[in-house]
């Protein structure tokens, strides 16, 4: 199992958001794979060509997925994470969210972090749509009062009507995603973490979803977005970080880093 970060309370930001930020100092992450007793010729062959990213000790095999990351984010930063599959983008988001605890280095976070990584996390198939609004909202750190004040707006945005009184198991996959998206984007964030751009529902609803996502980004002090599209990074971000093999290949303005990333393709 990946190492899990211990739950902790995030300090409240200053009223103007000046103290919101994230600092990574030499952050690294190694994930255990399986018991070392399962080693074989196949494992030894796997190690060849991995440039030392596979390591073993007396008990288990680990894979180094992030290494030596130094990064400072401040209010106003809109940073896009670029890199091929397996470069470490989603893993870095999970470290920033506190889902994984770094195995090396230190991360300091100031402000309320809202990760939109798995928007359906915490939803219950046997509870109604309205009950799931409460469940998912609480999981995102909203108070009961916050949820009660926003529940009708969430219901309207989801366009699910009377289905909200039915158990989630009666929903289509598209309906579930629409409800999850409506709940997840109702929360206010100091630091917003996004893994790819969410596309839910039909074409009309997708237009609403994009507008809502853009509004959520405007309300957030810091946004970190993992995406394959350098066009989206240039459009939505003022900074970019190019990851390769769990390490920073380049960082700077979105125009500069996307140009370098395109040249490498």
Q: Under a CB-based contact definition with an 8 Å cutoff, are residues 191 and 109 in contact? A: yes
In sequence order, the 6+-apart residues with CB closer than 8 A to the CB of 192 are 114, 116, 216, 217, 220, 222, 223, 224
Least reliable range by pLDDT among 57-66, 96-105, 152-161:
57-66
Starting from the edge strand earliest in sequence, which strands make up the sheet with 78-82, in order?
A: 113-116, 191-195, 222-226, 78-82, 239-244, 247-253
pLDDT for 172: 92
Q: For the domain bounded by 116-220, which CATH number is listed?
A: 3.40.50.300
Q: Would you say the CATH fold of 116-220 matches that of 21-111+226-264?
A: yes
Is residue 43 classed exposed, middle or buried when 0-12, 13-18 and 19+ CB atoms within 10 A define those classes?
middle
pLDDT for 61: 78
Q: What average pLDDT does this structure show over 174-186?
A: 90
pLDDT for 128: 97
193-220 burial, b if ≥16 CB within 10 A, otherwise e? bbbebbebbeeebeebbeebbeebbeeb
pLDDT for 147: 93
Element housing 250 (H / E): strand 247-253
pLDDT for 162: 95
Which CATH architecture best describes the domain 21-111+226-264?
3-Layer(aba) Sandwich (3.40)
Q: What mean pLDDT value characterizes the chain?
A: 83
């509870």: which residue's tokens? 127
pTM, full prediction: 0.77
Q: Where are the domains of the chain?
A: 21-111+226-264, 116-220
Residue 229 DSSP SS3? coil
- Asked if pLDDT for residue 178 goes beyond 80, the answer is yes
- Per 3-state DSSP, the chain is made up of helix, strand and coil in percentages (nearest 5) of 40, 30, 35
């Amino acid at each position: 199992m990946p190492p899990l970060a211990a739950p902790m309370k995030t300090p409240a930001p200053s009223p103007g958001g000046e103290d919101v930020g994230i600092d990574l100092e030499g952050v690294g992450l190694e994930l255990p794979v399986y018991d070392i007793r399962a080693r074989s010729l196949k494992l030894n062959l796997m190690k060849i060509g991995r440039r030392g990213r596979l390591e073993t000790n007396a008990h288990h095999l680990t894979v180094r997925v992030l290494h030596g990351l130094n990064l400072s984010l401040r209010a106003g930063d809109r940073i896009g994470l670029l890199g091929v599959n397996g470069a470490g983008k989603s893993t870095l988001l999970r470290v920033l969210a506190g889902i994984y605890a770094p195995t090396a280095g230190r991360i300091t976070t100031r402000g309320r972090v809202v990760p939109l990584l798995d928007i359906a996390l915490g939803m219950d198939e046997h509870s109604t749509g309205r009950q799931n609004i409460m469940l998912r909202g609480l999981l995102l750190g909203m108070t009961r009062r916050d949820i009660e004040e926003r529940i009708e707006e969430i219901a309207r945005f989801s366009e699910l009507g009377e289905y909200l009184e039915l158990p989630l198991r009666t929903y289509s996959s598209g309906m579930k995603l629409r409800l999850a998206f409506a709940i997840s984007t109702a929360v206010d964030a100091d630091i917003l973490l996004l893994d790819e751009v969410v596309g839910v529902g039909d074409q009309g609803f997708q237009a609403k979803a994009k507008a809502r996502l853009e509004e959520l980004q405007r309300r957030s002090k810091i946004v970190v977005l993992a995406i394959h599209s350098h066009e989206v990074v240039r459009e939505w971000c003022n900074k970019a970080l190019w990851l390769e093999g769990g390490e920073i290949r380049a960082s700077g303005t979105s125009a500069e880093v996307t140009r370098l990333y395109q040249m490498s393709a």
